[in-house]
Structure 1
């Protein structure tokens, strides 16, 4: 491990950077941590014979423990928690005030509705917050920082690909292969937009809220696959693709400005 002082530019293209000897291998190993916790608690929930609400709470406990471990890893790294994104977001105007992200959640809510109620819905509320904190801490926090030592592009693309591929773990839970593959593609796209938002705004909080809201609406709708939900997912994917292109343009412009400033500073 090579210690280095992270570049901390709120809202800039630079944030926590954790230089390691083999960044790709380190990123893969670190990305497996939340997957192991999820697999373990999922197995525990199934073996316990818990109700749907009880199983959700068991999964939430595992996700919370994994998130706590992620925060501990952040503290032990060369960077600060603030540089990882645990700070107030900036450049919200460039990110269109996060309106496209909120729109995707609204689209899913309208297209599939709410089919889960009572204690189960409350348990899912706890679960989605724990999962969002967990996955964003590891993927858009730690993994992004490790790969950012190579380049911002490597960090954004690499973290999103890992996020998508590791969703194949859902096959272990008995999910249909076709559905699992579609989830991998969608997760990679979601991860791409989320990583871009973190780099642009310098904060994890917007994507944590977006992640939790998206999952909550999905659970509340009973993960339905009817025509309405399918159309909704298609529209949401189109909105995410457009958002990704917009964010990419802003990131390229921001990177060029910061690179120019660095050259001036060197002179």
Structure 2
């Protein structure tokens, strides 16, 4: 079961250093936008929009990097997904959405929801462009499995910023576990379907529901994240078997 289309693979002299450097770009843009929101004492909706602008600019830089690199945008995954049966038509990732919606609830106003919708879309595109696009391509010459694990660990570790926000070790640990598992599944979907769009849509929808719930760390919300972690772990293991068959020719 080999893809008929090439996958993005970018050979660099120092791939791991390049991967870390590229992974830090969206973090830097988000940090600057967050700092601007704090300095200007922006309200909740305005802060969300400011960070959305930062994420959108970061995504634009990522797409420029893709354009000037050897692989094409289509090779990176800007194309319709294929081999949908091999990923069980995305049912497990889709199930995470009603779980988090039911356990986190909605705790923000309607105008703020619109701002968070813009933020969720910008973040979803931004992080998938960099992590499942550029970083995955840089590590892919070492094999699909190495690339999946490498980009997912970077994705999870960089989400440890929650510790700096005052989260408890237990909550930060659960969020780290989810981020890593999310990264693994998103990367597996990119490898198996040859497309970034499934992960972008899932990422944006997940973030929006979390924003709508006020990024709740209530026992109920955390239990929902725990259930999602179990679901994604099982799904990741199922997709992992035979993922090398989707390696295909590389650009």
Q: CA deviation at 1:26?
A: 0.7
Q: CA deviation at 1:180?
A: 3.2
1:161-176 correspondence to structure 2 within 5 Å: 161-172=153-164, 174-176=165-167
Q: Deviations over 1:69-105 (max 9, x none)?
A: 0000000000000000000000111101111101011
1:107 counterpart SS class:
helix
Give the counterpart of 1:136 among 128, 139, 153. 128
Residue 33 of structure 1 is matched in structure 2 by 25
Cα RMSD, aligned residues only: 1.8
Contact 1:9/1:15, CA 8 A, preserved across alignment: no
CA distance in 2, matches of 1:81, 1:100: 27
1:55-134 correspondence to structure 2 within 5 Å: 55-134=47-126
Contact 2:77/2:194, CA 8 A, preserved across alignment: yes
Contact 1:193/1:243, CA 8 A, preserved across alignment: yes
Q: How many residues get paired?
A: 247
Q: CA deviation at 1:221?
A: 1.1
CA distance in 2, matches of 1:158, 1:73: 20
Q: State the TM-score, normalized to the length of structure 2.
A: 0.93
2:85 counterpart SS class:
coil
Q: CA deviation at 1:181?
A: 3.6
Q: CA deviation at 1:229?
A: 1.3
Distance 1:44 1:9, change over 3 A: farther
Residue 15 of structure 1 is matched in structure 2 by 7
CA distance in 1, matches of 2:14, 2:199: 27
Q: Which runs of 4+ in 1 moved over 6 A?
A: none
CA distance in 1, matches of 2:61, 2:102: 36
Structure number with greater Rg is 1
Give the counterpart of 1:153 among 145, 167, 178. 145
Contact 2:145/2:244, CA 8 A, preserved across alignment: no
CA distance in 2, matches of 1:92, 1:44: 42
Residue 215 of structure 1 is matched in structure 2 by 207
- Gap runs ≥5 in structure 1: 1-6, 260-267
Residue 230 of structure 1 is matched in structure 2 by 222
1:95 counterpart SS class:
helix
CA distance in 2, matches of 1:106, 1:40: 32
